[in-house]
Homo-oligomer: A and B are copies of this chain.
Amino acid sequence: MADKIPYKTYLTEEEMPTQWYNVRADMKQKPAPLLNPGTGKPMTAEELSGVFCEELVKQELDNDTPYIDIPREIQDFYRMYRPSPLVRAYCLEKALDTPAKIYYKFEGNNTSGSHKLNSAIAQAYYAKKQGLKGVTTETGAGQWGTALSMACAYLGLDCKVYMVKVSYEQKPFRREVMRTYGAEVTPSPSDTTEVGRKILAEHPGTTGSLGCAISEAVEVAVSTEGYRYVLGSVLNQVLLHQSIIGLETHAAFKKIGVKPDVIIGCAGGGSNLGGLIAPFMGEKLRGEADYRIIAVEPASCPSFTRGKYAYDFCDTGKVCPLAKMYTLGSGFIPSANHAGGLRYHGMSSTLSELYDQKLMEAVSVEQTSVFAAAQQFARVEGILPAPESSHAIRVAINEALRCKQTGEEETILFGLTGTGYFDMVAYQKFNDGTMTDYIPTDEELEKSFATLPKIG
């Protein structure tokens, strides 16, 4: 252990993980399989390979192999922007006057602005290796679309992004970043797909949704020669790739002789949280260590804390397999004032199963309190956080203040998934004092639960 813990702990490039960790291998009760919506039976590798690359299908279905080699080419790409630092938040601790020790793993130091690049390069790599021409995807706020554009530019792969129309219009700069990386960006719903035309006919004025953009991207992938679909969250394969976050964190803690007590991550589809907690959850599953693990979600999109654990559609057009997950129903749309991201109606099947087994907790927080935490953090730690990440900051601060009251010297780790440079419209609302909160009523949730399929 160092005399003084440094502000930032970096692994050397030699110390960087060379394998991803698959938490499913250590789960006794595995996550529920994807189902074919037609037959109600588990999706086979063959069925999935029309949508996803072959190697990714293998990873998606592999519940048994604990460690999977990271191909050399992906390791090389990781070295361009990784290892990411494990930061000791000395200034935040001082500002809070807490005996708690606060650490964060910062994933925002790359142009995509978030952890999404970790899986984007993996998915693009396998597509390239399979000899494909390109990939399609959807993006909401644009972090995932940017990450995928970067990975495709690096590998020389075509990239078609369906961007939720409201974001396409309100975030022209995100779109330009993607275009700078050579991606083709289409506002969704669009008239370039059958499902898009159908949605436009039914809802002429719609500004789009993630679920709708997914349907369009999948349709293009399965109907275009040499293309496959890739997704930035929710899937098992994504959590596998994102385990690099947790593995680096685990190794960095070991290097400085520290063990966290509480691990906190924001949760939309679950990619960051699943990645951050992976090796720690593994220890917990194997009975080697115990940690409090907390998922944080928006009160306006509370899939863990108020959702149902059930099979649901992953997309609006219902072209995707069904997944068992904590969900608000695929018909759920967050209220119009929602500004903090994490707006997907469901949650990773793996995390849903772990949560159902009470191996982790979940809390929901309101957005004005999230932005207040973001501002406090920015002013003392010098990083303007993404609204998504700020959900974790909010709860980390709450936990540190609890320690202040009790005098406990707990070690708190949270995932700082990204930066908020493209989220200034939301920050402006907060700065102007015009940001409001919204918690859906029970009646509203009952209405969206009614969109759940009648299965299982």
**Which A residues fall within an 8 A CB radius of B?**
6-8, 10, 12-13, 76-77, 79-81, 90-91, 109-111, 113, 117, 150, 153-154, 172-173, 176-177, 179-182, 375, 378-384, 419, 421-422, 424-425, 427-428, 430-431
**Can you list 12 contacts pairing A with B, beta carbon distance less than 8 Å?**
A80-B381, A81-B382, A110-B383, A113-B421, A154-B379, A154-B382, A176-B424, A176-B428, A177-B424, A179-B431, A181-B378, A181-B379
State in angstroms the CA–CA spacing of A240 and B221 once bound together. 55
State in angstroms the CA–CA spacing of A383 and B112 once bound together. 9
A428 surroundings in chain B (CB, below 8 A)? 172, 176, 179
B424 touches A383 (CB 8 A): no
Least CB distance from A379 to B in Å reads 4
A7 surroundings in chain B (CB, below 8 A)? 13, 79-80
Least CB distance from A434 to B in Å reads 13
A154 surroundings in chain B (CB, below 8 A)? 91, 379-380, 382
A382 touches B424 (CB 8 A): no
Kindly list the 4 A-B residue pairs having the minimum CB-CB distance in the complex, ordered from nearest. Answer: A173-B424, A153-B379, A7-B79, A176-B424
Least CB distance from A107 to B in Å reads 12
Known: A117-B382, A176-B431, A180-B378. 8 other contacts (CB 8 A): A6-B13, A81-B382, A111-B382, A111-B421, A150-B382, A173-B422, A177-B384, A177-B421
Main secondary structure of the interface of A (DSSP, over half): helix
Least CB distance from A84 to B in Å reads 10
Taking the full assembly, how many copies of this chain does it contain? 2
- A153's closest neighbor in chain B, by CB? B379
Least CB distance from A56 to B in Å reads 22
State in angstroms the CA–CA spacing of A117 and B428 once bound together. 23
- A384's closest neighbor in chain B, by CB? B111
State in angstroms the CA–CA spacing of A347 and B380 once bound together. 33
User: Which one of A12, A109, A425 has the greatest number of beta carbons of chain B within 10 Å?
Assistant: A109
State in angstroms the CA–CA spacing of A109 and B382 once bound together. 10
Least CB distance from A334 to B in Å reads 22
State in angstroms the CA–CA spacing of A181 and B150 once bound together. 30
- A117's closest neighbor in chain B, by CB? B382
B422 touches A421 (CB 8 A): yes
- A121's closest neighbor in chain B, by CB? B382
State in angstroms the CA–CA spacing of A378 and B117 once bound together. 14
State in angstroms the CA–CA spacing of A380 and B182 once bound together. 12
State in angstroms the CA–CA spacing of A110 and B150 once bound together. 20
Least CB distance from A111 to B in Å reads 4
- A14's closest neighbor in chain B, by CB? B6
A153 surroundings in chain B (CB, below 8 A)? 378-380
A424 surroundings in chain B (CB, below 8 A)? 172-173, 176-177
- A6's closest neighbor in chain B, by CB? B13
B111 touches A419 (CB 8 A): yes
- A152's closest neighbor in chain B, by CB? B379
Contact of A6 among B12, B150, B181, B380 (CB under 8 A): B12
A431 touches B379 (CB 8 A): no
B176 touches A427 (CB 8 A): yes
B382 touches A431 (CB 8 A): no
B79 touches A111 (CB 8 A): no
State in angstroms the CA–CA spacing of A172 and B424 once bound together. 8
Contact of A180 among B79, B80, B431 (CB under 8 A): B431
- A375's closest neighbor in chain B, by CB? B180
